[in-house]
Amino acid sequence: MSSFLIRRLLQAIPTLLGITLLLFILFNLVGGNPVYHMLGKNASPAEIVRMTHQLGLDKPLWHQYLDYVGSLARWDFGRSWETKQRVTEMITDGLWPSMSLAIPAFIASTLVALIIALTAALYRDRWIDRLLVVISVCGMSLSMLALIIAAQYLFAFRAGWFPISGWEAGFTGVPFLILPILIWIAASLGSSVRFYRAVFIEEMHREYVVTARAKGLAWPRVLVHHVLPNAMIPILTLVVMELPMLFTGSLLLENFFGIPGLGNMSVNAINASDFPVIKAMTFIGAVLYITANVVGDALYAWFDPRVRVS
Amino acid sequence: MRDLWEKIRKRFRRDKLAMIAVVIITGYILAGLLALVGILSPDYKVSIGDAYSPPSWAHPFGLDVLGRSVWSRLVQGTRVALIVGFSSTFIAIPLGTTLGLISGYFRGAVDAFVVWLYSTLDAIPTILLLLALALVLPTGKGLATVCIALGVTSWVSTCRLIRGEVIRQKELDYVRAARSLGATDLRILFVHLLPNVVHLILVQASLVFVYSIKSEVILSYLGVGVQNFPSWGIMIDDARLELVGRGVWWQFTAATAALFLLVLAFNLFNDALKDVLDAKQR
Amino acid sequence: MGPLIFTPPVRLASIHSPTANARPSLLRWKNLLFPLPFPLKRGKGLGVRGVLLALVATLFFACTPHQHQKNVYRGALGANLKTFDPAQASDSYSNQCQFQVYECLFEYKYLTRPYDVEPCLASAMPEISDSGKVYTIHLRSDVEFQDDACFPNGKGRRVTADDFVYSIKRMTDVRTQTFGWWIFDGKVKGLDAFRKESENLPPFPDSIHPALYDREVEGLRTLNDSTVQMTLTKPYPYFKYILAMPYAAIIPHEAVEHYGEEFLNHAVGTGPFVLKEWRRGLRLVFERNPKYHHGFYPTQGEPGDSAAGLLADAGKPVPFIDRAEIYIYQETQPMWLNFLRGNLDRGGIPKDNYSQAITSEHVLRPELAQKGIQLNRLQQLDISYICFNTDNPLLGGNKKLRQAMQLGYDVETVIDRFYNGRGIRAQSLVPPGLFGYDSTFRNPYAHYDVEAARKLLADAGYLNGAGLPELSYLTLANTDARQRGEHFAQNMAALGIHIKVESCTWPEYLERLRRKKFELVGASWQADYPDPENFLQLLYGPNAPPGENNASYHNPEYDALYQRMSVMPDSPERMVIIQRMKTILSEDCPWILMSHRTTELLTYDRVRNVKPHPVLEAPLKYYRVD
């Protein structure tokens, strides 16, 4: 098992380097000289030369790239051009608000999707299943942006059931999070219900289930003891793979609901062409994705030893 | 190959939902084409009444902040959505297919490179990559940049699928037979293998299409979308403010419904397609 | 320097409004100690239920509205605060927050109009030589910096003349990378040379206090411990205002040396408040500075101020409030709702909620008035306009074309629809409230007249726009700015002129102005100091890009008049010159003049001494909370 993990981690290294290379090309080569951005309107040519030197932008490109990778390895993302703050600190600040939305929303949406999928699978091809499938196809077709605007308008503004937007630390912040979480659930339900339903249906038609049923075991028992544990393998894999989406999935939600998290920070950075922040967010997102991938593979291997060997 | 088309036709003729989906999609394409040549709603820039006139008999979809017809803007938005959808699909699908075929067939260093390329792209959060591309692409802001950015980021899943399928199929008898008869690699790839993965390509194409038009809306909201032209994303962005402040719901509803209907039609179409192809594989 | 592109008039609104939810953090802990109102028994089922109930109880108590703490003011900030370094105070949010902690030699008078300054850290107004160039300024000798870890033993020391000189030198040092250098650029003898020399210094933080700082600059000298002498290159009449700008705030060198690059996250000043807490993206807390004792409530006001109760506290020591909590809102909606719920003491009206607050007769809705909300209006010292790039041969070479476009633009509709009527159509670039404004001045081209526009366009050689290429109009990438651009394009289309609206981000916008890469651009300007020079310099030939003259406008007569008026104190003669300059601009039409905006400010009547001021946007030290 550990050799498997080590192998997977080693495989991640070229991908990480690829990401740094891509970011370097995008922002350092194509993105233009940051010195103009940093010095503002009234910079003299001498100042520009000085600053270029100070930032190491007059070094050969390979050297600049190595500097960049080196700073990433030290977990140093530099300072924001816009706020002059350390990017690492900005990220630390935004982490908690983001997580306070993303983690409950993620857990809730997964649970709701599983319950609905299981219901649909149990009543396969009956009206309730058809209804659920139609609803989930419609859900998949709805734009997240439109969903947010409509829900915020109808439930928060018109009906007044929720605060329109805002965020607070601690328990007082709970009311602010309910509506964004509900929207998150609604938006993610469509595709995941369909996936889980397919998994459950496939599992329910396996021989062992059919045999167990033939032996006279009741559905609930068969479900809990046979179907669920086996279906957990593909489900867990999907869940783990979706984890990095927490990072950017909440970009629009945070923006609309005024949650001072990482998504909001990214939108601000984009509006201000604040490259260091965008670069850092992209890199961290990628690292999370790779980590989740490795964890997903490891889980898979743990559940299904055949994978380990191949 | 002909066999596949036949099956798709048969299936769609039986499946009412799929037929409806095809009709809807055709309707959108027609509207987009008519708007493109200037027959349908050329008055999308002109003020034809009071600002924020609600829907009436004269203007069934109402008017916007500058007294422009929401209906005309909607039709012009269809044009943008279709351009974005088709051009990014035409970038992503050939790119993904070619890379997938080559890497799956030759394996070795080429394969390693392609796999590295797509796992790198895949690891980067798509929305941030899109925004980054939109910021730095030399084409500047606008329709072209959106299409290119969407095209070059959405070939990954196609490539991965095709590669897997080619790895499986190249050990099958028909490929071995072709090889022993002296067919060149190029011929095997494009004459023998390609037709046998075309079903995957079809499904992927409609997925990329849907993904692209949904992304356009979000990019427009974030201010890096189409410039100086009505698009559904821009209409939703406009409507965001007027909905809450003034209760102007018609522009928002119209743009959302137009987007929803088109995406729904594609999703249904896609489902029907998958059913045919699953049956084929069995 | 405040190009403030077309920010909707919500600006002030969004700026300092108040927010609530001020919740002492102790409260949350208290809840945990609070006896639970139900028995907790051991047992499997009950355990879970018990925990749940405890959770609900905690939520309940945490949500119970608690009484307003006495003497606490709750405000709001409409965007994330960037920095507490005065040298970086380039936006109004930073200004507002820094003014609570840092002080300058002079500060604006709160109540009297026209706008003027009075001594703050200086003990009197400057003694100005007959030439108008030598300023001798005496500093108060009884002011100390707040206590801070950067000082020996943590005790703040007395402020001296050297501190002022240090603060200006640090700001001049190119390595500080301030956006505010323009306030002294070319104005103080020897300071430009100092700046040039600072380019050769090793980068921060290697040499945070180089020997260069100890060398005397001719125009910036200390005569003794508490006297500064500044020598200007020309007798700039508005220099006293420059010394009241946040860029010129006095900072202790100990703080810069101690905190290094993190100085921007610390505030060590002499002002009425100290920064107690700053949670980025969430809130700022200021508390009364125990060492502050040099501020008093003004004793003079405008006619009517006394009747309005604004002079009830005349002569009393400030501040009146002990604590100010400023909440940060990036969205206007939650700010507005919290204000309506009484959680904030002060609020502006978001554009979209306008009709919820103000009736069509332009008065406050009675339901708000009943809640004790008061409405104050403020005429901003600003101008919004569309700028032609006169370097462009087509636009620059055809005066009639520019005049036609100005006549054909329906600005009244813009004010009505996009600003909710909060603004007046501009006839010249000088806004009301400044010397040089004349309400009777009429610009022959600054009204909406399609027929006249068509005729001028034909005279210009483009009958119904025939022969004109498509022109681009640059604006910012936000919904409001884009819609205004589309409206402009629509107006121009009615004349036969085709306009392409281009949206871009703020940095890209600045870059394109600087490099003259535009044809028309939507812009606005907010006064840095209350002198008409601040507006007239926007079209002074030598200020062409990368300077502030974005139009690249150049007229020898105008430039000569500018040179005269810029060094002349207010007088009838200056007025005549300004009127002449305005007439030249009316005819040449380098801008399409749009509006001078008004902002509306709402406060609960529990806050006393509220009078809006365009520079003192958050004069918390004068506020009293009952």
Cα separation, A217 vs A208, in Å, equals: 12
**pLDDT of C66 strictly over 50:** no
Residue A17 lies in domain:
2-73
Residue A270 lies in a domain: yes
Cα separation, C227 vs C161, in Å, equals: 6
Question: Is the domain of A41 the same as that of A113?
Answer: no
Q: Which of A56, A73, A90 is the last residue of a domain?
A: A73
Instruction: Pull the structure tokens for residue B136.
Output: 């730095």
| 8 Å CB contact of B227 and C503 | yes
**pLDDT of A308 strictly over 80:** no
Query: In this structure, which amino acid lies at residue B248?
Result: V
Question: Is the domain of A164 the same as that of A22?
Answer: no
Torsion angle defined by CA atoms of residues C98, C103, C105 and C107, in that order, rounded to the nearest 10 degrees: 70
Q: State the pLDDT confidence band at C28, using cuts at 50, 70 and 90.
A: very low
- Weakest mean pLDDT among A115-124, C5-14, C186-195, C382-391: C5-14
| In contact, C356 and C87? CB cutoff 8 Å | no
Cα separation, C180 vs C182, in Å, equals: 5
Nearest chain A residue (CA) to C59: A171
Measured CB to CB, residues of chain B less than 8 Å from chain C are: 45-47, 51, 65-66, 141, 223-224, 227-228, 234, 237-238, 240-242, 244-246
3-state secondary structure of A301: helix
Nearest to B47 among C478, C490, C504 (CB): C490
Question: Is the domain of A302 the same as that of A246?
Answer: yes
Which of C336, C482, C499, C508 is most worth mutating to test chain B (most B CB atoms within 10 A of its CB)? C482
Residue B89 lies in a domain: yes
Question: Is the domain of A108 the same as that of A244?
Answer: yes
Instruction: Kindly report, residue by residue over C172-190, the tens digit of the pLDDT.
Output: 998 888 888 889 999 999 9
Residue B172 lies in a domain: yes
- Please give the sequence-ordered ranges of beta strands (E in DSSP) within C184-303, or none if there are none: 220-224, 227-231, 273-279, 283-288
Q: State the pLDDT confidence band at C117, using cuts at 50, 70 and 90.
A: very high
Instruction: Kindly report, residue by residue over C397-443, the tens digit of the pLDDT.
Output: 899 999 999 999 999 999 988 888 889 999 999 999 999 999 999 99
Q: State the pLDDT confidence band at A143, using cuts at 50, 70 and 90.
A: confident
Residue A222 lies in a domain: yes
Instruction: Kindly report, residue by residue over B19-38, the tens digit of the pLDDT.
Output: 999 999 999 999 999 998 88
**By the CB < 8 Å criterion, does A290 face chain B?**
yes
Q: Which of A39, A56, A73 is the last residue of a domain?
A: A73
Residue C504 C-alpha, separation from nearest chain A C-alpha, in angstroms? 9
Instruction: Pull the structure tokens for residue C51.
Output: 């925990």
| 8 Å CB contact of B45 and C489 | yes
3-state secondary structure of C537: helix
Query: In this structure, which amino acid lies at residue B32?
Result: G
Q: State the pLDDT confidence band at C280, using cuts at 50, 70 and 90.
A: confident
- What are the chain B neighbours of C501 within 8 Å (beta carbons)? 227-228
| 8 Å CB contact of A166 and C334 | yes
* C189 φψ region: left (φ > 0), alpha (ψ -120 to 50), beta (else): beta
- What are the chain B neighbours of C353 within 8 Å (beta carbons)? 245
Show Cβ contacts of residue C483 under 8 Å, excluding neighbours closer than 6 positions. Answer: B65, B66, B238, C418
Residue B100 lies in a domain: yes
Partnered with residue B219 across adjacent β-strands are: none
Question: Is the domain of A203 the same as that of A108?
Answer: yes
Neighbours of chain C (3+ CB pairs under 8 A): A, B
Given this model, what pLDDT does residue A45 score? 67
Cα separation, C403 vs C495, in Å, equals: 13
Residue B107 lies in a domain: yes
* pLDDT, greater one: C291 or A246: C291
Neighbours of chain A (3+ CB pairs under 8 A): B, C
Nearest to A38 among C177, C279, C508 (CB): C177
Instruction: Pull the structure tokens for residue C206.
Output: 């290697």
**pLDDT of B256 strictly over 90:** yes
Question: Is the domain of A46 the same as that of A138?
Answer: no
Per the document, the length of chain A is 310
Residue A254 lies in a domain: yes
Q: What is the mean pLDDT of chain A?
A: 82
Question: Is the domain of A69 the same as that of A113?
Answer: no
Mean pLDDT (whole number) for A243-249: 65
Q: State the pLDDT confidence band at C60, using cuts at 50, 70 and 90.
A: very low
Instruction: Kindly report, residue by residue over C329-359, the tens digit of the pLDDT.
Output: 877 777 887 888 888 999 888 776 787 888 8
Given this model, what pLDDT does residue C533 score? 95
Residue B282 lies in a domain: no
Per the document, the length of chain B is 282
Tokens 């400023």 belong to C326
Cα separation, C241 vs C247, in Å, equals: 11
Query: In this structure, which amino acid lies at residue A81?
Result: W
Residue A79 lies in a domain: no
Question: Is the domain of A58 the same as that of A191?
Answer: no
Q: What is the DSSP letter of C459?
A: H
Nearest chain B residue (CA) to C357: B245
Given this model, what pLDDT does residue C209 score? 80
Show Cβ contacts of residue C254 under 8 Å, excluding neighbours closer than 6 positions. Answer: C150, C151, C268
Nearest chain C residue (CA) to B68: C490
| 8 Å CB contact of B123 and A137 | no
Instruction: Pull the structure tokens for residue A25.
Output: 């090309």
Q: State the pLDDT confidence band at C46, using cuts at 50, 70 and 90.
A: very low
Question: Is the domain of A137 the same as that of A253?
Answer: yes
Nearest to A84 among C21, C264, C333 (CB): C264
Instruction: Kindly report, residue by residue over B38-73, the tens digit of the pLDDT.
Output: 888 888 888 888 888 889 888 889 888 888 899 999
Instruction: Name the nearest CA neighbour of C318 among C95, C625, C18.
Output: C625
| In contact, C395 and C401? CB cutoff 8 Å | yes
Count of structural domains within chain A: 2
Instruction: Pull the structure tokens for residue C287.
Output: 């508390």
Instruction: Kindly report, residue by residue over C251-277, the tens digit of the pLDDT.
Output: 999 999 999 888 999 999 999 999 999
The complex's ipTM works out to 0.84
Nearest chain A residue (CA) to C1: A41
Instruction: Name the nearest CA neighbour of B142 among B71, B70, B83, B73.
Output: B83
Instruction: Name the nearest CA neighbour of B217 among B230, B200, B198, B201.
Output: B230
Nearest chain C residue (CA) to B234: C479
3-state secondary structure of C347: strand
Q: What is the DSSP letter of B253?
A: H
* pLDDT, greater one: C53 or A238: A238
**pLDDT of A167 strictly over 50:** yes
* A286 φψ region: left (φ > 0), alpha (ψ -120 to 50), beta (else): alpha
Q: Give the Cβ contact number of residue C35 at 10 Å.
A: 6
- The percent of residues above 70 in pLDDT, for chain C, comes to 88
Residue B189 lies in domain:
2-277
- Cis peptide before C39, with omega less than 30 degrees from 0? no
Question: Is the domain of A171 the same as that of A292?
Answer: yes
* pLDDT, greater one: C65 or C326: C326
Q: What are phi and psi of C144, to 5 degrees?
A: -120, 150
Question: Is the domain of A58 the same as that of A194?
Answer: no
Cα separation, A266 vs B218, in Å, equals: 14
Given this model, what pLDDT does residue A39 score? 67
CA distances for C27 relative to A171, C66, C227, C599, angstroms: 11, 10, 50, 38
Count of structural domains within chain B: 1
Helices of type H across C64-160: 92-101
Mean pLDDT (whole number) for C561-571: 94
Q: What is the largest CA-CA distance in chain B?
A: 75
Q: State the pLDDT confidence band at A263, using cuts at 50, 70 and 90.
A: confident
* pLDDT, greater one: A5 or C577: C577
**pLDDT of C534 strictly over 70:** yes
Which of A81, A149, A277 is most worth mutating to test chain B (most B CB atoms within 10 A of its CB)? A149
| In contact, A240 and A292? CB cutoff 8 Å | yes
Q: State the pLDDT confidence band at A51, using cuts at 50, 70 and 90.
A: confident
| In contact, C607 and C73? CB cutoff 8 Å | yes
Q: Give me the CATH number covering residue A264.
A: 1.10.3720.10
| 8 Å CB contact of A137 and B119 | no
Q: What is the mean pLDDT of chain C?
A: 85
Instruction: Kindly report, residue by residue over B107-159, the tens digit of the pLDDT.
Output: 889 999 999 999 888 888 877 788 778 777 776 778 888 898 899 888 998 99
**pLDDT of C35 strictly over 80:** no
Stated as kind and residue range, the H or E segment containing A222 is helix A219-222
Residue A258 C-alpha, separation from nearest chain C C-alpha, in angstroms? 6
**pLDDT of A279 strictly over 50:** yes
Instruction: Kindly report, residue by residue over C198-232, the tens digit of the pLDDT.
Output: 888 887 777 778 888 988 999 999 999 999 999 99
Cα separation, B239 vs B45, in Å, equals: 17
The rounded Cα C411 to chain-centroid distance in angstroms is 25
Domains plus CATH for chain C? 16-100+267-378+600-625 (3.40.190.10), 106-263 (3.90.76.10), 382-598 (3.10.105.10)
Q: From edge to edge, which strands make up the β-sheet containing C127-128? A: C127-128, C134-138, C227-231, C220-224
Question: Is the domain of A15 the same as that of A132?
Answer: no
Given this model, what pLDDT does residue C404 score? 96
